[in-house]
A and B are shown apart, each in its own frame.
Chain A
């Protein structure tokens, strides 16, 4: 990544708007169908670069809000974007566009699997894919782990919370609600304490 060349910033291309709910629906359907293993990267390319419905700053603003809120980021983003343009109907249309076609595909695949799951090769293939799915989730955790070094709470409290929650949920199989509320409140309080006294550094 190189820094933007000073003085040469091209004038911001004019933003457009979705013209109709139909256009909103098809745009999000097209976006979802390209998103293998995560729709977020495609969303940036489509909404910002191709359709120019959002500029980069607006996209980042929507995304960071989506990340703080519970629920899938991409769905939160679609929901707020749709609402901004066509009210609650737009929110429904955008989320519907994101989900409808992929849902049909997933159900067809699942039906095929159910039909042929007694075939040893099919069962084996799914078992192999399941192992890869496990690896993908673990890889995400491994990739994100270094960010804890820069976390304002300090490394060791972070490691304690991460390993504590992993053991409680994965090994001891405690219900998620207890662990998230317990360790989540602890982390929230500690982060608040660490962030507060010196005042916001930015």
Chain B
């Protein structure tokens, strides 16, 4: 391990701060889990800053989904692809910090009435937004497959698999890996 490995990988400290800051904002906005904000991460990292390419982005999400543990770890991989260990720290502190702090304090005042109008209006009002954000993330993750017809077919195949069977999504990820490795994707 050399200094370069733990270094900034071509970013400056301000970039790193902005990276953490962007993910800190997403931390509070990601209603329904970090994956709902993945399309905005893609917009920021790939389109706006050009720090990683769309395939790297998709690989991070795919690796985290194939591995055990919380899916939010794709955020760690994104940070790592941008700027190694420091980049990972920046994205993870950003995405975890604000939401965890809020949860910590709300957890201590747990006797907040859950059927209070404010709380119910919140979950009812944000439900369609959550679904919209999932559609957007799914769409953005599908984009790199448009050049590869077989890969594109894997997208609806996965949806059907998840709707019609109770099997673990790992099976489908394995199918995707095999089909891709055989050159179909």
Contact = CB atoms under 8 A, between A and B. Distances in A.
Given A65-B107, A128-B178, A102 B73 contact: yes
Q: Chain B's interface: helix, strand, loop or mixed, by majority?
A: helix
A143 B70 CA distance: 20
A27 interface: no
B160 to A, nearest CB: 8
Contacts, number: 375
Among A34, A107, A169: residue with most chain B CB under 10 A: A169
A140 B63 contact: no
Interface in B134-183: 134-142, 144-145, 148, 151-152, 154-159, 161-163, 168-170, 172-173, 175-183
Nearest to B107: A80
Contacts of A153: 124-125, 128
Given A75-B96, A137-B141, A103 B131 contact: no
A125 B73 contact: no
Interface residues of A, number: 104
B19 interface: no
A135 B159 contact: yes
Contacts of A124: 180-185
Contact of B29 (A176, A187, A194): A176
Interface of B: 25-31, 33-35, 37-40, 43, 47, 55, 58-73, 76-77, 80-81, 96, 98-100, 102-104, 106-108, 110, 114-115, 117-142, 144-145, 148, 151-152, 154-159, 161-163, 168-170, 172-173, 175-185
23 contacts: A68-B119, A68-B123, A69-B106, A80-B103, A91-B104, A99-B70, A102-B70, A110-B80, A113-B59, A124-B185, A125-B177, A127-B180, A128-B180, A128-B184, A133-B141, A134-B139, A134-B145, A139-B159, A173-B43, A173-B47, A176-B26, A177-B25, A183-B132
Interface of A: 32-39, 61, 64-76, 79-80, 83-84, 88, 91, 95, 98-99, 101-103, 105-107, 109-110, 113, 117, 120-145, 147-148, 151-153, 157-159, 161-166, 168-171, 173, 175-177, 180-181, 183-184, 187-192, 194-196, 200, 202
